[in-house]
Amino acid sequence: MSIGLVRFWSRRTLAGVAVAASAVLTLVACGGSSGSSGTKTYTIAFISQGTSNSWAAQLDAVARKTAKADGVNLVYFNGQGDGTKQLPEIDAAIAQKPDAIVLVPLGGAADTGPVERAMGQGIKVILCDSTITSDNYTTLVTPHAETAAVPLAQWLADKMNHQGNLLYIGGLPGNTTTTTYDQGFNSVMKNYPNIHIINGGNANYSISTAKQLAATAIASGKKFDGAWGVGGEAVTGMMQAYLDAHVSPVPPIGGAAATNGILRLAIENKIDVASLQFPPTSSQVCIDTAVKAVKGQSVPHSINISELPQYGPILPPLDKYYKPQYSDDMYVGTDSVLTLDELKAINLVK
Amino acid sequence: MKALDRLAADFRLASFGSAPKHTGPDHAVSDPAPSAPHPARRLSSVRSPTALIALISSVLPPPVRTYGLPIGATVVVAAVVAVVGPGFYRPANLHVVMQQYAVLGLVTIGQVLVLLVSGIDLSVGAVMNAALIIIALMNHYNENLLLVSLGLCILMGAGVGITNGLLVSLRDVPPFAATLGMTACVQGAILVYTKGIPAGNIPAALRPVALDGFGIVPFSLLICLGIGLVVIVFLSRGTYGRMIYAVGRSPEVARRVGISVTAVRVSAYALCGVLAALAGIILSAYVGYVDPAIGGTYNLQSIAACVVGGVSFVGGEGKPAGALIGALFLLTVLNVTTLSSLNPFTQLIVQGVVMLVAVSLFQLVKRGSFP
């Protein structure tokens, strides 16, 4: 009996060793290798925002497509939509010694140390969509949310005739994108002292939280002449709150990255909404830049993707931007990079 | 006379620095220690406000200690709100509070059951997310499957709860680890199935559950209070309630007297899962949009409501009514800070401080002894 048990465990141990050995071999193989033709296959660690929302899912799909097209090996690290969970993923990526890291930072300050460590080890680091509190990185690829938010905030101020109460629902405290959006918003609003900003709280990029906060603010009896939400989730939650409270007309709302769902709600309910065409396609530029960097080509320290054609403000009328064949989750402009089949594969086609 | 005996017993226990354990429906404190100081002597030794609170609370009967602070705190907050934010009492705002309370209340009732058997459930948020996904996907193109999808949500909640209960009871997995692992499994399943992008919509036929009602009282609140009442009655008067408290207090003793500890624990987790699924259905109806992270903060909020309401982490101690009052207190604080238009960062500090003070006071009152 005991001999049998020993044999059993021995077999299990051997099997475990075999699995571990194969995993190590796989990682070594992933760590940059020469193909049969003699050309080096570069490995890029993609530390994503992670499997947390549709934005990240689309960003990941674009990254995978781009890596395949560029012929590089993409190793995926899941940030799980949380800065604290992303940190160990960065360290895990550095330990793999990839040729480059493409990082979508979730915590600007917290990510700075790991990024500087990676740079110190000679790993190229491309920051995607958001930055850190240091300029010790290879390239920053960002739409410059601060300036991108300005036309939306200006539109909202104009719609409010530069006076009245403005309901503000924030994003995720400490998140760099939230901070830069706020900077753009505040740079406009400081010019209009008669606009009183009523803080409704932070929605943490959650539709449910945004709706609850907005419903509470609306129920307080205050009259709002305009509303601003950081992120598509906040704007969607606000619209739902106004519609469920049967407030008519719904005040103009600004601040979101445009999704098909926001446009649908706005069009169906005749709500004035200003949003930003800010598709999660920046990962294409990020991966391409990483490939150039590891090949020794010159890359700029900063790339402003706001200047690309798929970015820019979306102001009413919204009909020309809405595409009924796609689901609510599709960010306007994602179809400029992903084909219909690729969109279908990630549930974006009705 | 009986009250005096209990008072004396409490004093004696307090003099040994140990908390009299409130043991559910029939909390009898026996084995009095012989050297209880006289109340008058204790009064003379009071040197701080907290000690005074402890002394006052020590002469209160246990039901007052159990419910007194959550009710008192809610009344104090309500009174403060009447002065600083009269908007709270607008019917429209009360309607919103009731809508939101129905969801938190349901999750809290489930969490109480699990805490009473000395467990904890960190998977309620994931169950709520899964409920929304089931509803959204099954009703993507038509709403004929609404009832089927709702039934499936309840089954899913029960399944997750039963699995949690079995892991905790049969495999001795710590409740924290079991339910956290279950969260990862459920979230992972959602992501695998939806590929991170949940399609679908919330059926219009479901929305009246959360949005409509009698006057300002939404149907969802009636559902919550109805279930709450049933649970309160079962826990305070029924055999099941006694078994729950017995298992929470001492699984060994419960086992010796013939109670199936596994069955009781599994049933508590299963009910918690079902109630979380129901809360997810109601929250989906309330939000009206596919938000895959809909259950976001409900794990911690439900636990916080229980703690404020006097439910102990060690099991066998606390009442669902207290937890429901704790949930009301928590939601009132959240609502008032939102109405205050304070900076969101300051709002967080205010919420945190109010909760810490409430829980500290509660512990003091409950203990009924000098710190």
- Model confidence at A145, pLDDT cuts 50, 70, 90, reads low
Instruction: Name which of A331-340, B33-42, B120-129 the model is least confident about.
Output: B33-42
Give alpha helix (H) positions in chain B: 2-15, 39-44, 49-58, 62-84, 91-116, 124-138, 146-170, 175-194, 208-211, 219-237, 239-249, 251-256, 261-287, 298-308, 320-339, 344-367
What are all long-range contacts of A324-327, with beta carbons under 8 Å and residues at least 24 apart? A324/A264, A324/A350, A325/A349, A325/A350, A326/A260, A326/A350, A327/A260, A327/A261, A327/B197, A327/B199
- Model confidence at A66, pLDDT cuts 50, 70, 90, reads very high
Task: Give me the residue from A53, A199, A207 closest to B287, CB to CB.
Answer: A207
Domains annotated for chain A, with CATH where assigned, are 40-143+280-308 (3.40.50.2300), 145-277 (3.40.50.2300)
A189 touches chain B (CB under 8 A): no
Nearest Cα to A237, choosing from B233, A245, B213?
A: A245
Are B197 and A236 a contacting pair at CB < 8 A?
no
Name residues whose C-beta falls within 8 Å of residue A87's C-beta, 6 or more positions apart in sequence.
Answer: A107, A110, A111, A114
Which pLDDT value is given to residue B29? 36
Q: How close is the nearest chain A Cα to the Cα of B196, in Å?
A: 6
Which pLDDT value is given to residue A138? 95
User: Mean pLDDT for chain B?
Assistant: 80
Which pLDDT value is given to residue B31? 40
Site from B95, B135, B287 to mutate, A interface, most A CB atoms within 10 angstroms: B287
Highest mean predicted confidence (pLDDT) among A138-142, B43-47, B138-142, B144-148: A138-142
What is the bridge-based pairing of β-strands A312-314 and A164-170? Answer: unpaired
- Residue B358 in this model has a pLDDT that exceeds 60: yes
**DSSP class of residue A72?**
-
Are B344 and A202 a contacting pair at CB < 8 A?
yes
Residue B34 burial class via C-beta count within 10 angstroms: exposed 0-12, middle 13-18, buried 19 and up: exposed
The contact set of B with A (CB < 8 A) is 85, 87, 90, 92-93, 95-96, 99-100, 191, 194-199, 201, 211, 283, 286-294, 296-297, 335, 337-339, 341-345, 347
Highest mean predicted confidence (pLDDT) among A141-155, B33-47, B70-84, B149-163: B149-163
Q: How close is the nearest chain A Cα to the Cα of B343, in Å?
A: 6
More confident: B52 or B172: B172
A84 touches chain B (CB under 8 A): no
Contact list, B349 vs chain A (CB under 8 Å): none
- Residue B169 in this model has a pLDDT that exceeds 60: yes
Are A201 and B338 a contacting pair at CB < 8 A?
yes
Are B343 and A233 a contacting pair at CB < 8 A?
no
Per-residue pLDDT tens for A70-128? 999 999 998 877 778 888 889 999 998 999 999 998 876 778 888 999 999 999 999 99
CB pairs under 8 A between A and B: 116
Which pLDDT value is given to residue B13? 34
Terminal alpha carbon distance of chain B: 28
**Separation CA B132–CA A84 (nearest Å):** 26
Q: How close is the nearest chain A Cα to the Cα of B93, in Å?
A: 5
- Residue A37 in this model has a pLDDT that exceeds 90: no
Contact A164, A225 (CB under 8 A): yes
- Model confidence at B114, pLDDT cuts 50, 70, 90, reads very high
A244 touches chain B (CB under 8 A): yes
- Residue A29 in this model has a pLDDT that exceeds 80: no
Instruction: Name which of B12-21, B252-261, B347-356 the model is least confident about.
Output: B12-21
Are B199 and A60 a contacting pair at CB < 8 A?
no
Q: How close is the nearest chain A Cα to the Cα of B39, in Å?
A: 47
The whole-model pTM stands at 0.76
**Separation CA A295–CA A309 (nearest Å):** 27
Name residues whose C-beta falls within 8 Å of residue B77's C-beta, 6 or more positions apart in sequence.
Answer: B329, B332, B333, B336, B354
Contact list, A221 vs chain B (CB under 8 Å): 87, 90, 92-93
Which pLDDT value is given to residue A126? 95
Per-residue pLDDT tens for B46-90? 566 666 666 666 666 666 666 666 667 667 777 777 776 667 888
More confident: B321 or B72: B321
What is the bridge-based pairing of β-strands A226-229 and A164-170? Answer: parallel
- Residue A350 in this model has a pLDDT that exceeds 90: no
Are B293 and A173 a contacting pair at CB < 8 A?
no
Per-residue pLDDT tens for B197-218? 777 788 889 999 999 999 899 9
More confident: B350 or A75: A75
Which pLDDT value is given to residue A307? 79
- Residue A229 in this model has a pLDDT that exceeds 70: yes
Per-residue pLDDT tens for B274-287? 999 999 999 999 99
Which pLDDT value is given to residue B70? 63
- Model confidence at B228, pLDDT cuts 50, 70, 90, reads very high
Which pLDDT value is given to residue A142? 85
**DSSP class of residue A45?**
E
- Residue B370 in this model has a pLDDT that exceeds 70: no
- Residue B21 in this model has a pLDDT that exceeds 50: no
- Model confidence at A201, pLDDT cuts 50, 70, 90, reads confident
> If you average pLDDT over residues A270-287, what whole number do you get?
90
Q: Give me the residue label for tokens 């993923």.
A: A89
> If you average pLDDT over residues B254-273, what whole number do you get?
93
Name residues whose C-beta falls within 8 Å of residue A228's C-beta, 6 or more positions apart in sequence.
Answer: A153, A156, A166, A167, A168, A169, A185, A253, A254, A255
Name residues whose C-beta falls within 8 Å of residue B56's C-beta, 6 or more positions apart in sequence.
Answer: none
Q: How close is the nearest chain B Cα to the Cα of A57, in Å?
A: 6
Percent of chain B clearing pLDDT 70 (strictly above): 76
User: Mean pLDDT for chain A?
Assistant: 84
> If you average pLDDT over residues A231-255, what whole number do you get?
92
- Model confidence at B23, pLDDT cuts 50, 70, 90, reads very low
More confident: A111 or B1: A111
Which pLDDT value is given to residue B1? 37
Task: Give me the residue from A201, A206, A218 closest to B344, CB to CB.
Answer: A201
More confident: A236 or B172: A236
- Residue B264 in this model has a pLDDT that exceeds 80: yes
Highest mean predicted confidence (pLDDT) among A187-196, A300-309, B249-258: A187-196
- Residue B156 in this model has a pLDDT that exceeds 50: yes
Domains annotated for chain B, with CATH where assigned, are 2-58 (no CATH), 67-366 (1.10.3470)
A217 touches chain B (CB under 8 A): yes
Are A219 and B99 a contacting pair at CB < 8 A?
no
Are A327 and B296 a contacting pair at CB < 8 A?
no
Are B297 and A209 a contacting pair at CB < 8 A?
yes
Q: For B230-284, give the DSSP string.
A: HHHHHHHHSHHHHHHHHHHH-HHHHHHTT--HHHHHHHHHHHHHHHHHHHHHHHH
- Radius of gyration over alpha carbons of chain B, in Å? 22
Which pLDDT value is given to residue B339? 80
**Separation CA A48–CA A78 (nearest Å):** 6
- Residue A12 in this model has a pLDDT that exceeds 80: no
Contact list, B335 vs chain A (CB under 8 Å): 216
- Model confidence at B32, pLDDT cuts 50, 70, 90, reads very low
Site from A212, A325, A326 to mutate, B interface, most B CB atoms within 10 angstroms: A212
Contact list, A209 vs chain B (CB under 8 Å): 296-297
- Model confidence at A34, pLDDT cuts 50, 70, 90, reads very low
Q: Which residue of A has its CA nearest to B212?
A: A244
Which amino acid belongs to residue B161? G
Contact list, B338 vs chain A (CB under 8 Å): 200-201, 213, 216-217
Give the three-class secondary structure for A134: coil
